[in-house]
Amino acid sequence: MRKRQDRFYSPGRRRIGDLMFSLSNTPIDTDALKRLVNTPEAGAYVAFEGRVRENNEGKKVTALEYEAYEELAVKEGKKILQEARKLDILKAHCVHRTGPLKIGELAVIVVVSSAHRKEAFQACEFIINEIKKRVPIWKRESYADGSTAWVNCAHGHDAEHAHGREERGQLKTTECGHDHIAKGARS
């Protein structure tokens, strides 16, 4: 195990823009995001892309819409990225879509760079899990049978504050081609 590199923690060193959380009502430019986390110190880059899946709990999904409480969503998203800094990463950005989305479309992307791959994998998984749990964003699904539902709100009115469901996930890295779908987000 290498030692924590304190130079990454000095407040003067970290530039504004190394951590960014935002919402977008238009398609996400993934290449631009990947360039933003590029830095000569980074030996690893990991991205999680959550996409709109065509089914949920056995029902065929035909359309989907995200709604966000923007002021608090951005605040909470930034807080999560700040928390991820403890994992010794260099840069982390996340963009979440709002509005209507089609099947297969990118709903959320988390990109992380770090000196070595372990920290980038861990931070990427931490960030997406916390976003699903804490950020005030809601998903309304329309189904092939004509019904609609706000996911996690429809049944179990007594359920504790529910966690998000898993999207079909893709995780990529320049060091390792494994498919690491984020675990532990399901309540």
Partner 1 sequence: MSTSTIKTVRVDYFALLKEQRGLASESLQTECSTVLELYEELQKRYGFSLRHTSIAVALNDEFADWSRVLCESDKIVFIPPVAGG
Decide whether 36 or 151 has the Cβ nearer to partner 1. Answer: 151
Q: Would you say the C-alpha torsion 25, 129, 44, 85 has a positive or negative sign?
A: positive
- Considering only the stretches 1-9, 10-18, 25-33, 164-172, report the one whose residues sit in contact with partner 1 under the rule CB under 8 A: 164-172
Q: What are 135's two structure tokens?
A: 């950020």
12 token code pair: 């003067």
Q: Are 115 and 90 in contact (CB under 8 A)?
A: yes
SS (H, E, C) 122-140: HHHHHHHHHHHHHCCEEEE
**CB-wise, 6 or 158, nearer to partner 1?**
158
* Bridge pairing between strands 55-56 and 106-114: unpaired
Per CB under 8 A, 75 contacts partner 1:
yes
* CA gap 70, 64 in Å, rounded: 18
- What does the CA dihedral 25, 31, 36, 40 come to, rounded to 10 degrees? 170
Can residue 115 be called a binding residue for partner 1 (CB under 8 A)?
no
Q: Which stretch binds partner 1 (CB under 8 A): 7-15, 29-37, 83-91, 149-157?
A: 149-157
Binding residue (CB under 8 A) for partner 1 from 19, 111, 113, 139? 139
- Kindly report the backbone phi and psi dihedral angles of residue 3, in degrees, each rounded to the nearest multiple of 5, phi listed first: -80, 155
185 near partner 1, rule: CB under 8 A = yes
186 near partner 1, judged by CB under 8 A: no
- Residue 150 engages partner 1 in binding (rule: CB under 8 A): yes
Closest distance of CB 11 from partner 1, Å? 24
CA distance 178 to 112: 16
Q: Is 137 in the site for partner 1 (CB under 8 A)?
A: yes
Quick check: 50 binds partner 1 (CB under 8 A)? yes
Residues that bind partner 1 (CB under 8 A): 50, 66-69, 71-73, 75-76, 96, 107-108, 128, 131-140, 150-153, 156-162, 164-165, 167, 185
